[in-house]
Structure 1
Amino acid sequence: MLIAQKDNEKSLQDYKNASLQEKFEMNKSYAIKVLPILSSYQTSVEDIFLGVKNFGTMVTQTNFSEQQDVLKLTSHNSDYWRACMEMEAGNQLIPTTKIFMLVSQGEFDYAFKYLEVVKMFSIPEAYADLYLGELKNRLELFNKQLNSEIEKGIAEHDKGNFEKAISIYAEIIKQYPNSAWTNFELFYSQSELNKKNGEGKRNTIEDWNSKKKNILDHNPFFGLPISAQNAEDAYLLFRRNSIGQLFRDKNETVDDIYKYADIAMDLEIYDFAAQLYWFSLSHTDKNEDSIYKFLYCIEKLGVTNLKQNFKGNIEKEFKNIKKNKEKEMIKSEVYKSYKK
């Protein structure tokens, strides 16, 4: 036990001393090592828990050292959502596995967004919580170092040294290509450099839309400090920015999870929204429509075979959800002010 503890302490110290790129590779390797452990808990369950067993089998048979489409393996996978429903509330083995899958592919930004909320609902007694806590520590250290490097680029940008800022961001991207923040700052500094050099015409909407897609692919919740292009865009920017108002009061955590899910659904981040609606459903009966919103979101992801397990006029509820969302947008002050 003492030897193992010393080994862990040495490993942690090595990680702390590592460069950003080394941390990037170490985190991926750690995730690849943990995934078979997590999947072993899933494949050993009784056959009645078919979603858990099937999902665990898929994880076991997948080589995460190679490039994998994690969203296809999870968000668009019926077994993933069935597994989430089959697990006891508080045992976050299934979403934890998804988080480690994302990390194995170097998608730390999105993994950390998941980790932030999954950890809130993870009970310490569950095996998955141990690995979740270790990963949280690793990613927090990684993000601290990453943010420090990005801030160096911002400092140069603020002094008007756009070329220097661009070189700093380019170096960061070499070490961690999936940073939404770095990719945004690189775009911003390049845009300012174009204007400085009299080449502002290169800053087109088409170019921004292309860069925006890349940024949001890595972190769908990234705050976009760019002017809206239309009323709907303005509303969605408002909704995106309103995330910062959540989780300020621990007593409101469950209510905020529901609000967070609503925002995610507005932004069409359906996998994240579905996960949060399920948490809301599992921890309170206050939001009765959570189940329909959960089913609506996974339907949007192409998972259509689970709604048959629930009572009610599901299709009618889906239509109401869509109609109510449209009403909320059209009646919002942000939307109306942009239309004027």
Structure 2
Amino acid sequence: MTDVVTLTLNPAIDLTVTVDRLTIGEVQRARSAQSNVGGKGINVAGCLADWDVKVAAGGVLGRFNDDAFVGFFHDKAILDRCVRAPGETRTNIKIADLATGSTTDVNLPGLAVDAGLVDAVWAAALKDLEPGTPVVLAGSLPEGLPAETWARMVADLAAEGARVVLDTSGAPLAAALGPEATRLPHAIKPNRAELEALLGRDLPETRDLVVAARELVARGVALVVVSLGAEGALFVDAETALAARLAPKAVLSTVGAGDAMVAGMVAALLEHASLDRLARLSVAFATAKLDRIGPHLGPKANVEDLAARVETRRLD
């Protein structure tokens, strides 16, 4: 039996290159280069496995270069529910700038995925579903799939009793929350820009973000988390709105920090935790990830120490 299922339709192998200072148009001399399996749902699964959660990872992998994923799943004791497709899983290039703490992404096109493969992913996910199981649908959709793909899977999973956590953006997020959606996700985690794009208006102030999140809660989303980078995040449910943050720390790479935040959300959902505990774990997971490359969380004791130091305040 598994505690959580994650689904990633557009995974990647992340090649992270670290430079002292990124200067566009000039030859760069790298300090280091490291390859890790990636894709938002894969990253979530890795962090949850480090939290001793039993995770099943589903999605689509290229059968010609799945060795890294097979090894990763084995090392983390993650149940491999991925469907194999012809071709290779894409490689994404991440350039980590040590001078600024920023990361520049160059994301390559993914595998060709059709409706038949999506059906196979769905069938694999069904093997691990129990009523109340959190299921994370994460990341972009491969080219060729309709924007409604995640929305349809949200509806199907909710009908099976799953608590769906959706982390996507753009047209797939709009479709999953739009008037045509028959069931809404249990939780979402947009950042400010994604929420502005979804609602079609600027949200410059904290109060604007809280109002926007409450609009989505009123539609039927149980939990809205708005990630704000170094400023932390906002956490809004039907009863409470919280702001949570930790003091800035040295950053090796921001890649996967948002995915780690989703993993913290899910870990708290498994605990049936209060919103305050959920906010603390989510911010602590994301912060713990900042000095690590790849889908790794680090020791639980360190994360709990960070969670205890998270500053939370009510916004209502």
Larger relative contact order, structure 1 or 2 (CA cutoff 8 Å, min sep 6): 2
The question of a shared fold, defined as TM-score above 0.5 by the shorter chain, is answered with no
Relative to its length, the structure with more strand (as a share) is: 2
More helix by share: 1
TM-score scaled by length of structure 2: 0.30
